Amino acid sequence: MALGAYRSTFLAIGGFSGLINLLMLTGSLFMLQVYDRVLPSRSIPTLVGLCVLVAVLYAFQGVLETIRSRLLTRISAGFDQHLSARIFQIVVRLPLKARGAGDGLRPLRDFDQVASFIGSAGPAAFFDLPWIPLYIGIAYAFHPALGLTALGGGLLLIAIALWTDRSIRFPSRAVAAYSAHRNALADATRRNAEVLAAMGMEERFTARWRKASNEHRRARDRVGDISGGLGAMTRISRMGLQSLVLGIGAYLVLVEQASAGVIIASSILTARGLAPIEQAVAHWKGFLAAKQSWGRLSDLLAAMPAQPDAMELPEPGEKLTVEHVSLTPPGGRKAVVEGVAFAVPAGSALGVIGPSGSGKSSLARALAGVWRPYHGHVRLDGASLDQWNRASLGRHIGFLPQDVELFAGTVAENIARFEPDADPADIVAAARAAGVHELILRLPEGYETDIGESGMVLSAGQRQRVALARALYRDPFLVILDEPNSNLDAEGEEALSHAIRGVRARGGIAVVIAHRPSAIEAVDLLLVMNGGRQQAFGPKMEVLNRVLRHETSRPLVVVHKGEQAGS
């Protein structure tokens, strides 16, 4: 695992912690020598010598603590560098594997929680805990009563620490759950701000936010109350124990069983020996949050291992084959596509039609490799999609989803799929193929126009046409278009038909998911879906005539008056 790579560094931190805790004895021994040697002898040179020695030891301690702190910071940075890309990949892949609650960013927050705790002062307190017996042992050497008092105080503080763990474990989980729900609500509200403003829904969602925020605040306050109260109990117990040790030391001096220096030395020694427990309790909330976060991350890393590099396969150029494919949505149980099988040769375009909910978009996701079938295979030139390296396969697939999403950046960057050092000629070629070159030139800065988050600068139709250019970038073999004309005007629909013909002319394959007949004007094959099953497949005119003649379902494509069935 990522932290296992720093085993030697953790061992070094343990060694530094040992030296630091040995140097922590400096104050106690200094006071012991002052009271038992300097004051009785009234020797100023002895006092000066002790002061110089103590100053040197404290300087070494400061250096060692600085090194330990920096080592923890470097481990945190290395942990981030080693795992951040994997966690980001999980965030990207997770929606394709399962339906998750919240905004989907919990793995990133968990990762930041763990990295922040590693780089904080919390781990140092836990490294100091094993040295508590040393301090108790020295106190016992001064006098058994002092050692037993320190031991009892240590056990009391440990009991408070365990009580803290037991008390805030479940409230902390509740805080995480409420926080995820609140973040998801805020993100959904932000993304649908126009809908809320247009239909007067702000107050209702403000009420929902207030409710979610109140639940989160109550859970957070409960954790704060518990940890704060037990933290105060820990501090008071340690202070009371320190005073108790002073009292016992004074009694031992009065009965002539200890020297005067033991009073101060044992008090300092006990306070320092039990300080790691107090610090651990103070950082227990962060430790528990990091532990829970690491548990969730470990489960995700195990469930979604890094994808091995697949052997590079030749570029596809012959056919698309779908072999009895059945699909369920991520995290779902009910099949949305069952037993679909067909083959499309190079140079053809397949139209997929059917009523809403018939499985068309689900099939498109399987063809693009977004969803993996639980039965059957999607193959390019005989190789199933999971045999391809994901990055290599992406170069051969163009995908225009039903819900178009562009990214913050320039038009050119979006068309080029944010490929570094993309050839401007390829970008312009893709824009021309999509019939959007002239439209882009009319933008304020042309291809360098920054379209903002989700392409907010562009209209819905412009976003769809730019996304079409992105799907056509560098002439992919398989181009999948899901409802590509849902936001297009007549000019855009003409450009779409031209783009589909262009894919066919260069020997590629186009798959068009459609409701409107204009979208399938340029296809030569047709697949009819109904209820998640394949109803008909074959040449377009033959399938249309068969479906309409036998009336096996409601009309799936409306042919406008005066328009041929194939147009």
Token code pair at residue 178:
């409420």
- Residues in the chain with pLDDT < 50? 552-567
| Shared-domain flag, residues 371 and 462 | yes
pLDDT at 269: 83
> Does residue 313 lie in a domain region?
no
| Shared-domain flag, residues 16 and 156 | yes
pTM here is 0.71
Domain that holds residue 188: 2-303
List CB contacts of 528: < 8 A, sequence separation 6 or more.
353, 354, 534, 535, 536, 537, 543, 547, 553, 556
| Shared-domain flag, residues 456 and 352 | yes
Count: domains in the chain: 2
| Shared-domain flag, residues 240 and 368 | no
**Boundary residue ending a domain (270, 303, 336):** 303
- Residue found under tokens 């481990």: 75
pLDDT at 559: 41
| Shared-domain flag, residues 16 and 87 | yes
Alpha-carbon span 537 to 502, nearest angstrom: 23
> Does residue 567 lie in a domain region?
no
| Shared-domain flag, residues 342 and 295 | no
Token code pair at residue 86:
């994997």
**Boundary residue ending a domain (263, 279, 303):** 303
| Shared-domain flag, residues 228 and 293 | yes
**Residue 41 maps to which CATH number?**
1.20.1560.10
Token code pair at residue 304:
């979604």
| Shared-domain flag, residues 285 and 342 | no
**Boundary residue ending a domain (278, 303, 328):** 303
> Does residue 56 lie in a domain region?
yes
> Does residue 566 lie in a domain region?
no
> Does residue 311 lie in a domain region?
no
pLDDT at 101: 55
pLDDT at 509: 96
| Shared-domain flag, residues 31 and 163 | yes
| Shared-domain flag, residues 204 and 56 | yes
Q: What angle do CA 551, 539, 485 make, to 5 degrees?
A: 85
pLDDT at 429: 95
| Shared-domain flag, residues 298 and 370 | no
Whether 400 contacts 433, CB under 8 Å: no
| Shared-domain flag, residues 528 and 407 | yes
pLDDT at 562: 36
pLDDT at 442: 93
DSSP letter string over 118-179? HTSSHHHHHHHGGGHHHHHHHHHHH-HHHHHHHHHHHHHHHHHHHHHHHHHHHHHHHHHHHH
Q: In this structure, how many other beta carbons lie within 10 angstroms of the beta carbon of residue 532?
A: 21
pLDDT at 549: 65
> Does residue 263 lie in a domain region?
yes
Annotate 379-408 with b (16+ C-beta within 10 A) or e (fewer): bbbebbbeebeeeebebbbbbbbeebebee
CA pseudo-torsion sign 386, 390, 393, 397: positive
> Does residue 524 lie in a domain region?
yes
pLDDT at 256: 82
pLDDT at 307: 72
> Does residue 563 lie in a domain region?
no
**Residue 327 maps to which CATH number?**
3.40.50.300
What phi and psi, each to the nearest 5 degrees, are found at residue 341?
-145, 130
